C-alpha cells in the first residue's frame, strides 16, 4: 500500500467531494459532517433530483462553513438517466484545474424499488429502470469521475459505496434491492482489485430514520429500530479520517 493510502489525516484535505443523494437522509447528514473537514479550496458537489432541497442544503452549508473558502455546487440530476450522470461528471470536470489532493466520491443515492415476490418481476423495463439507478449509474458515474481526475501519486482517491446488510443477506421479496446492493459491492471490489491507487469502502449504514425507512414501514409493516442519520454518518467520517480500512472492505455500522 502506498504512503498516500496508508496515511491517516485529521481533515479530508483539499478535496473534490461528491455526494450523490445529498438532498435527504443519510447523504444530507454526511454532507453536513464532511463540510467541516474540508480544507479551503475544496469543492463539494451535492447531487440529487430535488432542486429546492439542494438549494436549502447549499444555504445551510454556506452558513456552516462561513470563512472556510469552500465551493459548494448543487447538481440537479436524475442519476437513472444518461443526462443526469453526464451532468454530474461535467460539473466535476469544471474543477480539474483546481488544486485538489483528494477525490472522495460517495455513491449514496439509491431507491428501495418494488418489494414483491420473485415471480412478479416479469417486466424487463421495470427491472432495467431499477438497475439503471441502483447499479449502472454508480459504475458510469465512478468511471467518469475517475477519467476526469486520473489517480496519480499525491492524489488520494476514495470511493464510498453505500451498501447494506442486504448486499450479503437474502431477504424474501427484496430481490431488486438485495441484487443491486450485491452487484454494487462486487463492482467496487473489482475496482479495488484493479486499481491500487483508489481506495474503496462499502459501508452498510445500519437502519436509519429516513424516507426510505418510511417506505419500508408502509410497504411491509416492519418497524426496525432506527438510528439518526448523523450517528451513522459520524462513524463513516471517523473511518475515512482514520483511513483504517482495507480497500474493497465491507464495514457495517454495527461493527464500528
* Residue 24 binds ligand NDP (CB under 6 A): yes
SS3 104: strand
Closer residue to ligand NDP (CB): 161 or 247: 161
The CA distance from 99 to 29, in Å, is 26
Beta bridge partners, 240, equal none
CB of 139 to ligand NDP, least distance (A): 15
Question: CB 1 → ligand NDP: shortest distance, Å?
Answer: 27
Site stretch for ligand NDP (CB under 6 A), options 7-15, 31-39, 116-124, 207-215: 207-215
Binding track, positions 214-253, relative to ligand NDP; x by CB under 6 A? ----------------------------------------
Using the contact rule CB under 6 A, the part of the chain among 62-70, 121-129, 145-153, 209-217 near ligand NDP is 209-217
Q: How far is CA 161 from CA 23, 92, 108, 245, in A?
A: 17, 18, 7, 13
Choose between 80 and 156: whose C-beta lies nearer to ligand NDP: 80
For 168, counting Cβ atoms within 10 Å of its Cβ (0-12 exposed, 13-18 middle, 19+ buried), the class is: middle
**Is residue 45 involved in binding ligand NDP (CB under 6 A)?**
no
Q: In the range 50-89, which residues lie near ligand NDP by CB under 6 A?
A: 50, 53, 77-80, 84
Nearest to 236 by CA among 22, 23, 18, 29: 29
Q: Which three cell numbers stand for residue 43?
A: 469543492
Is residue 208 at the binding interface for ligand NDP, with CB under 6 A as the rule? yes
Binding segment for ligand NDP among 58-66, 151-159, 199-207, 244-252 (CB under 6 A)? 199-207
**Among residues 14, 73, 126, 213, the one that binds ligand NDP under rule CB under 6 A:** 213
* 146 lines the binding site for ligand NDP (CB under 6 A): no
Contacts 24+ apart (CB under 8 A), 90-99: 91/45, 92/16, 92/18, 92/45, 92/144, 92/145, 92/148, 92/149, 93/148, 95/16, 95/43, 95/71, 96/148, 96/149, 98/16, 98/41, 98/43, 99/14, 99/41
**By the criterion CB under 6 A, which residues form the site for ligand NDP?**
21-27, 48-50, 53, 77-80, 84, 108-111, 133, 162, 164, 204-205, 207-208, 210-213
Amino acid at each position: 500500500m502506498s504512503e498516500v493510502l496508508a496515511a491517516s489525516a485529521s481533515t479530508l484535505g483539499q478535496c473534490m467531494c461528491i455526494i450523490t443523494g445529498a438532498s435527504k437522509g443519510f447523504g444530507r447528514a454526511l454532507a453536513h459532517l464532511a463540510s467541516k473537514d474540508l480544507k479551503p479550496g475544496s469543492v463539494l458537489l451535492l447531487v440529487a433530483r430535488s432542486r429546492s432541497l439542494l438549494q436549502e442544503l447549499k444555504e445551510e452549508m454556506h452558513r456552516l462553513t462561513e470563512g472556510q473558502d469552500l465551493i459548494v455546487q448543487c447538481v440537479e440530476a436524475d442519476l437513472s438517466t444518461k443526462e443526469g450522470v453526464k451532468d454530474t461528471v461535467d460539473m466535476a470536470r469544471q474543477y480539474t484545474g483546481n488544486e485538489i489532493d483528494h477525490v472522495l466520491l460517495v455513491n449514496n443515492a439509491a431507491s428501495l424499488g418494488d418489494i414483491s415476490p420473485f415471480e412478479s418481476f416479469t417486466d424487463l423495463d421495470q427491472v432495467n429502470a431499477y438497475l439503471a439507478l441502483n447499479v449502472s449509474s454508480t459504475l458510469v458515474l465512478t468511471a467518469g469521475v475517475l477519467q476526469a481526475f486520473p489517480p496519480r501519486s499525491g492524489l488520494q482517491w476514495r470511493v464510498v459505496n453505500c451498501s447494506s446488510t442486504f448486499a450479503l443477506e437474502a431477504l424474501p421479496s427484496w430481490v431488486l434491492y438485495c441484487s443491486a446492493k450485491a452487484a454494487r459491492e462486487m463492482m467496487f471490489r473489482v475496482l479495488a482489485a484493479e486499481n491500487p491507487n483508489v481506495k474503496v469502502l462499502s459501508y452498510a449504514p445500519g437502519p436509519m430514520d429516513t424516507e426510505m425507512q418510511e417506505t419500508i414501514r408502509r410497504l411491509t409493516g416492519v418497524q426496525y429500530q432506527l438510528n439518526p442519520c448523523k450517528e451513522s454518518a459520524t462513524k463513516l467520517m471517523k473511518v475515512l479520517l482514520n483511513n483504517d480500512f482495507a480497500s474493497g472492505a465491507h464495514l457495517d455500522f454495527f461493527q464500528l
